[in-house]
Amino acid sequence: MSVSFDEKRRLFRLDTANMTYAFAVSAAGLLCHLYFGGRLPGKNDLDADLENLSERRDTEGVSREITVRQEYAAQEPFDFMQDALFPVFFDGTRGTRLRYAGHEIQGDILRVLLRDGYYPLRVTLEYELLEPLCLIRRKAKIETDGTEAIRLERCFSASVELPADDYRVTHYSGHWGAEYRRNRRMLGQEKLVLDNSRGLCSAHQHVPFIALDADGAATEETGSVYFGALEWSGEMKLTAEQDFFRHVRVTAGVDDRDFEWMVTKDHPFETPGFVIGFTENGFSGMSKALYDWQWELLMPKERAAKPFPVIYNSWYPYEFAVDEGKCVALLPKLAAAGAELFVLDDGWMEGRTNDSRGLGDWYADEKRFPHGLKAVSDACHEQGLLFGLWVEPEMVNLKSCLYAEHPDWVLRDENRPLTTMRRQLPLDLALPEVQRFCIETLDRLIEENELDYLKWDMNRYFSERGTDREMPFLYVRGLYAVWRHIRRKFPRLLLENCASGGGRADFGMLPFSDRINRSDNADPVDVMRLHEGFTTLYPPMLAGGAGNISPCPNGINGREVPFAFRALCGMTGSMSIGIDLLKCPDEEIARIGKAVERYKEYRSDIAQSYVLRLRSAEEGNVTALEYLRRDGETVILFVLGHGLRYGEGNITLRLRGLPENALYRDEDGKTLSGGALTRKGVPIRLRGDYDGGMLIFRKERATCMDLK
Ligand code: DGJ
């Protein structure tokens, strides 16, 4: 791993074990991209590219457009591809041409300073090699030392040039209840735009993530894949563009649809990070790199390997109809079902028997919770259960004391009516006083009620946006400030990142998320796809929801699915129960208890496993996911099928990633070598509807060699 600068050639290189990223300063001071891809070990491997670092010649006509591949795309003449930066200067001049003005290298961080040739605009490009991973975090900072403000109309985190080629793009998109649907298609001479302009969430329409593989040739295990993830939880935009000459550029950053930033001496702009990576091991290699990043760098160390408690959540069975009596009556039942954490979801606040009241007034309803939430918390703790609470701190109902006291805290356009969604309005979290209110409210709730778990929800998008065009950016920064405060002040508190399901399942929230509400859709047939999309990007231990063992028929599709299949689906992630246990006969509770017990036997393996996609739910009715522990000690194979026709459930699954001489023992006590599991495979017989199973193989001390 190294970051280097070759003075003579004015060449910057970032090298990791498998990847090289290079750019150079041209004779005229332009920062020109040279190469991004598999590692180039030779000292002279880039010489030819350096020789061709031509600037545009003024004799050139329309037969050539881009002659220079800008490392951070601004307004170099005749570069018509997506730019990353668009400033407007005080005299009305639009756009900038940037020239190299210096750099510094501090360990794994490279900062390159660029300046406009005339106007006092400084751009610092930052490249951080994320050790020990093959990833680079890029971001940009825009400053001025002039006296006049510079208006930014666009300022993305990065533009990334790929080697000229035909690429297939993979990205994940959807909607509430349908998150992370895989999209895959070849990019032609066009610009693909993945954006979200909904204000306070990132991932409901498009996860801020993109992958490209040359010629569409990558498989799960082989081939080169470029990928990038934006660390941002608000309005975002990713583009992938190919021009006639097969130049391909990817850009990523804060959405520019309603963006403006006035840069002054004491008001610079700093973009969120865009983390880019490259692998020659196909899409599994990509997922592995993303998991390693999360385990090694994003998640708090003490959490990364810890199994998550099994949750009982009140939302699916009771919605707003919660009270102390019900909660307390539930506790022995949920303990019998094996749950370890009771989450009191929406509905506990003053007057919140539907969605018209309660948001903003974060006090328990005195009629329904006469002894306060502390009584429920104490009852949980007395029974050895953890206690968690649902909140939606960014929001307010019109019918609330908070709104009456602070109507000015709500995002509004003075001359237009307020538009509610789910009968609520967003507070302007960009305002320090609103952040303070959220912090004080949460501190009080956590401390007074000895919370072990907090589920932070968010259930609407922006409509009125006010006059401050910096607000959408500052809103997300405000959100992070509140989450950071909670994380620091209550390090043992578990945090669930929920935004109407997976609306904020993004890389910006990951440092704060112990669990993500993957989706509000718990229909097992849909879950197979949702989970596959989710675990392509995030480890399965984060995959939560309000109830994997959920009501049947399912609320979204009306599908009735047998218990065993629903439970099996639940076992693939962070297990939770969300059915009315007060109405469940004891045998039913015992049945849930058994499934939960089975889950607990291997959940610590799940917490440390990569997920390899042996059969994709996107391509057929059988999903097969191999959970391979990082240390190779355990392999769990989940196979789920539905609507099977023509015997398509008779398959052989060849496992991946196992050392050939290791011996693995299955639950019947039989051993097979890693070589046999990967080459000969495991025969599977699924039949009809909702058939599935789980096979566990644990590594033996002995190896094939010992038995010879
Ligand atoms: C949306 C969330 O995704 C659900 O899990 C639930 O908490 C409801 N909001 C409550 O209003």
- Residue 131's pLDDT is 80
372 Cα: distance to centroid of ligand 1 (angstroms): 22
The gap from C-alpha 527 to its chain's centroid, in whole angstroms, comes to 17
- Residue 45's pLDDT is 96
Contacts of 326 (CB under 8 A, 6+ apart): 318, 582
C-beta of 116 in contact with ligand 1 (< 6 A): no
Say how far apart CA 254 and CA 236 lie, in whole Å.
4
Token representation of residue 659? 């050392």
Note whether 524 and 515 are within 8 A (CB): no
In ligand 1, the atom with minimum distance to the C-alpha of 499 is 3
How do residues 615-652 score in pLDDT, each as one tens digit? 999 999 999 999 999 999 999 999 999 999 999 999 99
- Residue 708's pLDDT is 67
In ligand 1, the atom with minimum distance to the C-alpha of 390 is 7
C-beta of 496 in contact with ligand 1 (< 6 A): no
C-beta of 498 in contact with ligand 1 (< 6 A): yes
How many residues are there in the chain? 708
As a 3-state breakdown, the chain gives helix, strand, coil percent values, each rounded to 5, of 25, 35, 45
**Other beta carbons within 10 Å of 9:** 14
Percent of the chain with pLDDT over 70: 98
C-beta of 532 in contact with ligand 1 (< 6 A): no
**Other beta carbons within 10 Å of 39:** 14
How do residues 475-510 score in pLDDT, each as one tens digit? 999 999 999 999 999 999 999 999 999 999 999 999
Nearest CA to ligand 1 atom 1: 500
How do residues 34-82 score in pLDDT, each as one tens digit? 999 999 999 899 999 998 886 666 777 777 666 679 999 999 998 999 9
- Residue 302's pLDDT is 74
Note whether 37 and 76 are within 8 A (CB): no
C-beta of 537 in contact with ligand 1 (< 6 A): no
**Other beta carbons within 10 Å of 553:** 11
Contacts of 364 (CB under 8 A, 6+ apart): 348, 349, 350, 372, 373
The secondary element (H helix, E strand) that includes residue 341 is strand 341-344
How do residues 78-111 score in pLDDT, each as one tens digit? 899 999 999 999 999 999 999 999 999 999 999 9
Nearest CA to ligand 1 atom 11: 346
User: What are the residues facing 277 on neighbouring strands?
Assistant: 135, 227
Phi, psi of 597 (to 5 degrees): -60, -45
C-beta of 392 in contact with ligand 1 (< 6 A): no
370 Cα: distance to centroid of ligand 1 (angstroms): 24
Nearest CA to ligand 1 atom 5: 546
Q: What count of Cα atoms within 13 Å lies in the side-chain half-sphere of residue 113? A: 12
Q: What is the mean pLDDT of residues 663-667?
A: 97
C-beta of 202 in contact with ligand 1 (< 6 A): no
User: What are the residues facing 627 on neighbouring strands?
Assistant: 611, 636
The secondary element (H helix, E strand) that includes residue 313 is strand 311-313
C-beta of 346 in contact with ligand 1 (< 6 A): yes
User: What are the residues facing 653 on neighbouring strands?
Assistant: 682
Note whether 479 and 487 are within 8 A (CB): no
- DSSP character string of 463-484: ----S-TTHHHHHHHHHHHHHH
- Residue 62's pLDDT is 75
pLDDT surpasses 80 at 412: yes
In ligand 1, the atom with minimum distance to the C-alpha of 501 is 3
Rounded (5°) CA angle 162-168-171:
95
Straight-line distance from the first to the last Cα atom of the chain, in angstroms, rounded to the nearest whole number:
40
One-letter-per-residue 3-state SS of 485-536: HHHHHCCCCEEEECECCECCCCCCCHHHCCEEECCCCCCHHHHHHHHHHHHH
486 Cα: distance to centroid of ligand 1 (angstroms): 21
C-beta of 180 in contact with ligand 1 (< 6 A): no
Residue 410 DSSP code: B
- Residue 66's pLDDT is 65
415 Cα: distance to centroid of ligand 1 (angstroms): 32
Say how far apart CA 494 and CA 544 lie, in whole Å.
13
Contacts of 444 (CB under 8 A, 6+ apart): 362
Say how far apart CA 492 and CA 443 lie, in whole Å.
14
In ligand 1, the atom with minimum distance to the C-alpha of 319 is 10
Contacts of 325 (CB under 8 A, 6+ apart): none
Say how far apart CA 326 and CA 319 lie, in whole Å.
12
Better-predicted residue by pLDDT, 551 or 460 = 460
The gap from C-alpha 407 to its chain's centroid, in whole angstroms, comes to 33
C-beta of 499 in contact with ligand 1 (< 6 A): no
Token representation of residue 190? 């066009």
Say how far apart CA 637 and CA 437 lie, in whole Å.
47
pLDDT surpasses 70 at 28: yes
Note whether 211 and 205 are within 8 A (CB): no
How do residues 121-149 score in pLDDT, each as one tens digit? 999 999 999 988 989 999 999 999 999 99
Q: What is the pTM of this model?
A: 0.96
346 Cα: distance to centroid of ligand 1 (angstroms): 7
Nearest CA to ligand 1 atom 9: 500
In ligand 1, the atom with minimum distance to the C-alpha of 345 is 7
Q: Which of 390, 456, 461 to mutate to test the pocket of ligand 1 (most atoms within 8 A of CB)?
A: 390
Say how far apart CA 327 and CA 581 lie, in whole Å.
11
552 Cα: distance to centroid of ligand 1 (angstroms): 18
Strands (E), 418-475: 424-426, 453-456
Say how far apart CA 500 and CA 515 lie, in whole Å.
14
The two beta strands, 248-254 and 150-162, are antiparallel
Rg (CA), the chain: 27
Percent of the chain with pLDDT over 90: 92
In ligand 1, the atom with minimum distance to the C-alpha of 520 is 3
Token representation of residue 235? 């309005």
Note whether 182 and 90 are within 8 A (CB): no
Q: What is the mean pLDDT of residues 15-23?
A: 95
C-beta of 179 in contact with ligand 1 (< 6 A): no
- Residue 205's pLDDT is 92
Say how far apart CA 211 and CA 162 lie, in whole Å.
12
In ligand 1, the atom with minimum distance to the C-alpha of 545 is 5
- DSSP character string of 1-30: -EEEEETTTTEEEEE-SSEEEEEEE-TTS-
501 Cα: distance to centroid of ligand 1 (angstroms): 7
222 Cα: distance to centroid of ligand 1 (angstroms): 39
* Collapsed DSSP state (helix, strand, coil) of residue 295: helix
- Residue 44's pLDDT is 92
316 Cα: distance to centroid of ligand 1 (angstroms): 9
Q: What is the mean pLDDT of residues 177-188?
A: 96
C-beta of 576 in contact with ligand 1 (< 6 A): no
Q: Which residue has the tokens 């979204």?
A: 556
In ligand 1, the atom with minimum distance to the C-alpha of 355 is 11
Mean pLDDT, the chain, rounded, equals: 95
pLDDT surpasses 90 at 675: yes
517 Cα: distance to centroid of ligand 1 (angstroms): 9
Say how far apart CA 617 and CA 572 lie, in whole Å.
14
Note whether 80 and 95 are within 8 A (CB): no
- Residue 67's pLDDT is 65
Q: Which of 353, 458, 520, 530 to mutate to test the pocket of ligand 1 (most atoms within 8 A of CB)?
A: 520
C-beta of 520 in contact with ligand 1 (< 6 A): yes
